[in-house]
Amino acid sequence: MHAVKEIVISTTIRWIGFISRCYGGRHHDYSVLKSILPVDKEWFEKFKVRLDLGFLGFAKDYICRKFFIPIKKPKGKELTDEQREINTKQASERITVEHSIGGLKRYRILEDRLRLHNLNLYNDVLGVCAGLWNFSLNL
């Protein structure tokens, strides 16, 4: 497998609250989310949720206080200036999630080419790196 994928849930202060187990890179983000957090429970009811375009359909399946997802460019057309401005504002608020993912990658075992063929071991390594990242935020 060339890539692994996991779902990362973090706060606005870059603290990682949840990391799913690893899946092969060919799995779609939203189908992974539905498999680990079933839609019949109210996981996000009390939260504002910021997502990327890999989670289209989230609003119809999950209940949350408020959710933000970028506007997708229509096929063969361009986004309006207002839509671009909305996407830019959402991206500037969602960047903390990307920073927390980048914080995980400061540990070279996650950044370099994956040489572990045992995904269970990789899940353990990922959990340890997330714990170290959260610990470094408290220093």
In single-letter form, the type of residue at position 34 comes to K
Residue 2: the pLDDT is 66
CA separation for the pair 28, 109 (Å, rounded): 24
* pLDDT tens track for 128-137: 999 999 999 9
Burial class (CB in 10 A: 0-12, 13-18, 19+), 33: buried
Residue 135: the pLDDT is 95
Residue 27: the pLDDT is 84
CA separation for the pair 121, 139 (Å, rounded): 28
Domain extent at residue 42: 4-137
Structural domain total, the chain: 1
Q: Which two tokens stand for residue 104?
A: 């995980």
Digitized pLDDT (tens) for each residue of the chain, 139 residues in all: 567 888 999 988 999 999 999 887 788 889 999 999 999 888 999 998 999 888 988 988 998 898 898 989 989 999 999 999 999 999 998 898 889 989 988 888 888 777 777 888 889 999 999 999 999 998 7
Residue 83: the pLDDT is 93
* Helices and strands (H and E) in the chain: how many: 5, 6
Residue 133: the pLDDT is 94
